Amino acid sequence: MSTSRNGDPLATIVAEWLKAKICPVKRLPLIDNEKYVSENFISSMTNQYFQIYVPKDFLEKNKKILVVEDILNKGNSTKALVILLSKLKIHV
Q: pLDDT tens across 25-37, in order?
A: 777 777 776 788 8
- CATH among 3.30.990.10, 3.40.50.2020, 3.40.630.10, 3.40.50.80 for 9-87: 3.40.50.2020
Q: What is the DSSP letter of 58?
A: G
- The pLDDT score that the predictor gives to residue 92 is 65
Identify whether the C-beta of residue 27 lies closer than 8 Å to the C-beta of residue 59: no
Indicate yes or no: pTM above 0.85: no
Average pLDDT over residues 76-85: 81
Neighbours of 17 (CB within 10 A): 9
pLDDT for position 33: 63
Q: How far apart are CA 30 and CA 46, in angstroms?
A: 24
Q: What is the pLDDT of residue 42?
A: 80
- Domain residue limits, the chain: 9-87
CA dist., res. 17 & res. 4, Å (int)? 13
Within 10 angstroms of residue 22's Cβ, the number of other Cβ atoms is 21
Q: In this structure, how many other beta carbons lie within 10 angstroms of the beta carbon of residue 38?
A: 15
